[in-house]
Every structure is written in C-alpha cells, then in structure tokens.
Amino acid sequence: MIRGARTSSLAEPGFAGFAAPFGIDRENAVFQTFTVNLVQEPKLLLWTQSACLVTTPAIARDPSFAMAAARSAQRGWPVFKRLSGGTTVFHGDDTLCVSLLQPCPAGGPVTDAGYRSLTTLLVNALASLGIRATTGPVPEAPCDGRFNVVARGRKLAGTAMRVRTVHGRPVLLAHAVLLVGGGGNGLTAVRAFESDLGQPRAYRDDGCIGVAELLGRKGHEPSLRGQVADAIRRCFIQQSGDNHDER
C-alpha cells in the first residue's frame, strides 16, 4: 500500500480506493514486485481512484499535451500516464479497475491468451450477477479494441496489457476499466481533452453502458461497485483454485 494514498470517500468494502494517481502507482509497484520475485501464481487487484484521465506515453509526447492536460485539470480531470497502449480513458466514481497479473508459459500467443484470461474472468463474474456479456470491438466507443467486454452491443469494459519477459518467460499485467455508472462526465472530459490536443474523435453518446443501467439500478452505483468487485473476486478464486487477490 502506498502511504497516504487511500481516501475514505473511495474506500468502500471490497476494493481499494486511492487518490489519483496512487492507484496507477500501486499497480506499477505490484507488477514490479511480481516480476522481480518470479511469482508463480496469478494475482488480482481490484481498485479505483479519484476522477482523472489516464493516457499513454505516445499521447503524452504530443506537443500539445501539457496545454491540454492543464486545461483538463482545471475542469477537475487531472491527466496521468499509464505504461500501456491505447488511447485516453477516465477513472472515477463510475468505474472499477481490475488488474490481473499472471506468469505464462514461454511460446504461444501470449497477448491474446492474457486478454482472454481477463475477459473470461469478467464475463463469468457479470454472468453471476445476471448480465450477459461477450468480447469484441465497439466502433465509435472510446479507446476501442478487440477485447472490450460488451453488453447489448455497447462497451462495458475496456482492456489494456503490459508484458515483461523474465528469464525467458513472459509475465503479464492485464488491466480493465469496468463501467459501473453512466460515465457521461468522464466521456465529456475525454472529448474535451482530445479536442484540446487537436485530436477530436466522434464517440457515440450511447457507445458505453454501465452495470447500473444493465441491472436497472441507477442511483445505486456505490453499493453496486462493491457487489461487482465481490463477484469478480469469487470467480477469480474459482478460476485460480486459491485466493491470491489483494485489495
């Protein structure tokens, strides 16, 4: 745990809450320890952090980045950098972050297998809550990719990955941002940031959907986030055969 990072407003039971960017920092630190110590068992992190935008190293190198990030911070959405690819996403009260760390056998399609381990975990957990989800792209949704978690044709979670090779063996950090609430404010913040970068994108207003809408429980997002975290943890324990999660 990073000292001073936990915030009482985000510390509901079932997952760790942080003031941004300490959630990202902790994920990086745990992945570093996981690889250095050659951990042989998968590990699950369930967490969230205060409202922010999270972008990539490539976007952070854009000449307009400093100006766009400063404007976003003035709007209440500070911008931080992650070490994986993709485009800009939002974190905050509407989201739950899921990090799955796992060693993999050498050889084979490591990246796709890692994504499938994460999306299978999420799809099974959502099914236990009564939500039918699949994986695939959602055109005109923010940070679209092949391994979105999708419900009713709309993006429910996006994924990203980091891979390190330790003594010839790949070690993966697969990460998902799962939408629990509506995400409208976050999407507005992403649009404004990308516009300030000079890279506006035409996202569908209905490109994303949250757990609360799928279950008909809008207004219950704080308790739902804990329920979703608990469902993911249960499925992880069943999938891995042991309890290797860390809040």
DSSP 186-214: HHHHHHHHHHHTT------TTSB--HHHH
pLDDT given at position 2: 32
Predicted local confidence at residue 7, as pLDDT? 40
pLDDT value at residue 37: 86
Which amino acid, residue 207? G
Count of Cβ atoms closer than 10 Å to residue 112 Cβ: 12
Instruction: List per-residue pLDDT tens for the chain, 247 residues long.
Output: 333 344 433 333 468 899 999 999 999 999 999 998 888 889 999 999 999 999 999 999 999 999 999 999 999 999 999 998 889 999 999 999 999 999 887 666 688 889 999 999 999 999 999 999 999 999 989 899 999 999 999 999 999 999 998 888 889 999 999 999 988 899 999 999 999 999 998 898 899 999 999 999 988 888 899 999 999 999 999 887 654 556 5
- How far apart CA 43 and CA 214 sit, in angstroms, is 28
**Under a CB-based contact definition with an 8 Å cutoff, are residues 65 and 53 in contact?**
no
Helix and strand numbers (H, E) in the chain are: 7, 11
User: CA angle at residue 99 from 244 to 215, to 5 degrees?
Assistant: 100
A 10 A CB-CB count for 19 gives 16
Evaluate whether 147 touches 86 at the Cβ level (below 8 Å). no
Q: How far is Cα 98 from Cα 232, in angstroms, rounded to an integer?
A: 9
